[in-house]
Amino acid sequence: MLVPVRGGPSAQLALRLAATVCKETGAELCVLHIFNPRISPESQQREESGFLKLTSMVDVPVRRITLLSASVREAIIREAAQHQMVVLGATLSLMHRPMVLGAPITRLLRRLPGSVMVVKTAGPVTALKDPDRPFRLESRAAAAERVDRWFAENTFHSKEFADLRRLVDLKQRQGVTISLGLPTLNEQDTIGKVIRTFKNALMDRVPLLDEIVVIDSGSTDRTAAIAERGGVRVVQHSEILPRYGAFQGKGEALWKSLYTLNGDLICWVDTDISNIHPKFVYGLLGPLLSDPEIQYVKGFYRRPLKFGTDFQAQGGGRVTELAARPMLNLFFPELSGLVQPLSGEYAGRRRVLESVPFFTGYGVELGLLLAISEAYGLRAIAQVDLGMRVHRNQTLFDLSKMAFAIMQVGLKHLGDRHRIHLLEEINKTMKLIHYEDERYWIEQKEIEDQERPPMNSVPEYFLARHRAPTE
């Protein structure tokens, strides 16, 4: 009997159950732990210590198996072929949800031979050898260990994927298509260079991208005209799925772009970047093409503050550091290893992006991150260092409104997780305090993101994606 363990919240239960079955049947208990080759020797030593401590908690003989593999799933599948039964613990992302099988385990089950048992802890359990120690503290330590492990294994640098021929080869061998969506709103100063950079490097020189589409949100300047002259398709998000109306906001444009983009992999990049480089795309696509377990990739970077022609090396990403990351550390600590959870550059597999809801405004980035983590687990997410990003900085008033909307999204997910209606009890009107002509005055602003349903639940999208090809 094989029990793969990674220190998850149900690992003790899986091991204890398997030990009981082996004790009654005389079967051999084999416990598997998989090390990622990218982690440091110190991290590997800590994992080894935790593995030995966990396996010492049962009172039957244990055969410990340790493997070195970048793919946990593939290693489990290979080892499972040598055993008659596998016992798995449910993942951390499912601990506050009623189901036992999440997407990662479901994909694994389809490929495992023999009999498989999946267990999930119904409530707090105490350590077998130390019943007086509060499980909550141990759970926090285990969660911190998982974040450290994820940070070591799933953090990349764009330089690792600079070999574009290799990426094209991976793309062609996997038989996937790739779309780049560029959301715009009055970006006439930068959109031309953005399109030229990506089109020349990633379509004309090498066929990494299959299409580039500009999704415009009603620009009143020359953005759309410049984009069309750049040789790419331009669509107005208000004209996509018109039956469902159109909200303002970047999230609305991204949600609707799922309908008009054709790729199996979809990449979105903000268009106000003045130091644009192909790495802002190939860096995000690299992990998706290299590792089938990765479903969603976020970019991160150094963000200097720009004041006219002057730069301040530090200070960018103010909403991230003052609102988003503190919220994640408080309420969603499994995501505390994300360097820039609000970054506007990210890529994912269509089957994942179409399965989660989208917030229409400022909250789209945080909403996607929380939804994908909840449905697919932390292992499905990766992050890539893209170097430095220089863009148009927003005013403090705009950042204040952004933080207000982002906190609403976080509270909604927190309420959904614990089945309480937090958002129904909070105020969604923000009072912005201005100082002008030596007096203070208050501006009242209603700020609330709408939540669009998963795109795969929209009938028009389903029919379009499953329509039989015409002759």
Q: Name the one residue in this structure whose structure tokens are 């409530």.
A: 123
- Amino acid letter, 240: I
The CA-atom distances, in angstroms, between 465 and each of 46, 212, 236, 251 are 47, 19, 20, 21
Do 251 and 360 form a contact (C-beta atoms < 8 A)? yes
Q: Which two tokens stand for residue 454?
A: 């998963």
How far apart are alpha carbons 297 and 278 in whole angstroms?
A: 16
Nearest to 152 by CA among 366, 383, 386: 383
pLDDT at position 140 over 80: no
Q: Which residues pair with 116 in a beta bridge?
A: 86
Domains annotated on the chain, with CATH: 2-133 (3.40.50.620), 156-466 (3.90.550.10)
**DSSP string across 33-68:** EEE-TTS-HHHHHHHHHHHHHHHTTSSS-EEEEEEE
CA 101 to chain centre: 19
Biggest alpha carbon–alpha carbon distance for the chain: 85
pLDDT at position 100 over 70: no
Q: What is the pLDDT of residues 41-52, one digit of tens each?
A: 777 787 888 788
| pLDDT band for position 141 (cuts 50, 70, 90) | confident
How far apart are alpha carbons 250 and 183 in whole angstroms?
A: 7
| pLDDT band for position 286 (cuts 50, 70, 90) | very high
Q: Which two tokens stand for residue 80?
A: 């499972």
**Of the given ranges (55-64, 231-240, 299-308, 403-412), which has the lowest mean pLDDT?**
299-308
pLDDT at position 93 over 60: no
Per-residue pLDDT, 90: 73
How far apart are alpha carbons 407 and 427 in whole angstroms?
A: 12
pLDDT at position 293 over 60: yes
Q: What is the 3-state secondary structure (H, E, C) of 226-254?
A: HHHHCCCEEEEHHHCCHHHCCCCCHHHHH
How far apart are alpha carbons 414 and 359 in whole angstroms?
A: 15
| pLDDT band for position 315 (cuts 50, 70, 90) | very low
| pLDDT band for position 125 (cuts 50, 70, 90) | very low
Q: Which residues pair with 265 in a beta bridge?
A: 178, 349
Q: What is the pLDDT of residues 158-179, one digit of tens each?
A: 999 999 999 999 999 999 999 9
**Of the given ranges (10-24, 97-111, 193-207, 259-273), which has the lowest mean pLDDT?**
97-111
How far apart are alpha carbons 450 and 453 in whole angstroms?
A: 10
CB-facing half-sphere around the CA of 231: CA atoms within 13 A: 10
Q: Which two tokens stand for residue 465?
A: 């994606």
Per-residue pLDDT, 74: 85
**Of the given ranges (102-106, 225-229, 368-372, 426-430), which has the lowest mean pLDDT?**
102-106
- Amino acid letter, 423: L
pLDDT at position 305 over 60: no
**Of the given ranges (50-54, 166-170, 254-258, 389-393), which has the lowest mean pLDDT?**
389-393
Question: Which of 44-48, 315-319, 376-380 is modeled with the greatest confidence?
Answer: 376-380
Could you tell me the pTM of the whole model?
Answer: 0.71
Q: Which two tokens stand for residue 402?
A: 């952004």
Nearest to 259 by CA among 325, 215, 322, 314: 215
Residues 258-278 have a mean pLDDT of 97
Distance from first CA to last CA of the chain, Å, rounded? 53
| pLDDT band for position 226 (cuts 50, 70, 90) | very high
Percent of the chain's residues with pLDDT above 90: 55
How far apart are alpha carbons 352 and 315 in whole angstroms?
A: 33
Task: Quote the mean pLDDT of the chain.
Answer: 86
Per-residue pLDDT, 131: 38
Long-range contacts of 17-22 (CB under 8 A, 24+ apart): 17/87, 17/117, 17/119, 18/87, 19/58, 19/59, 19/60, 22/60
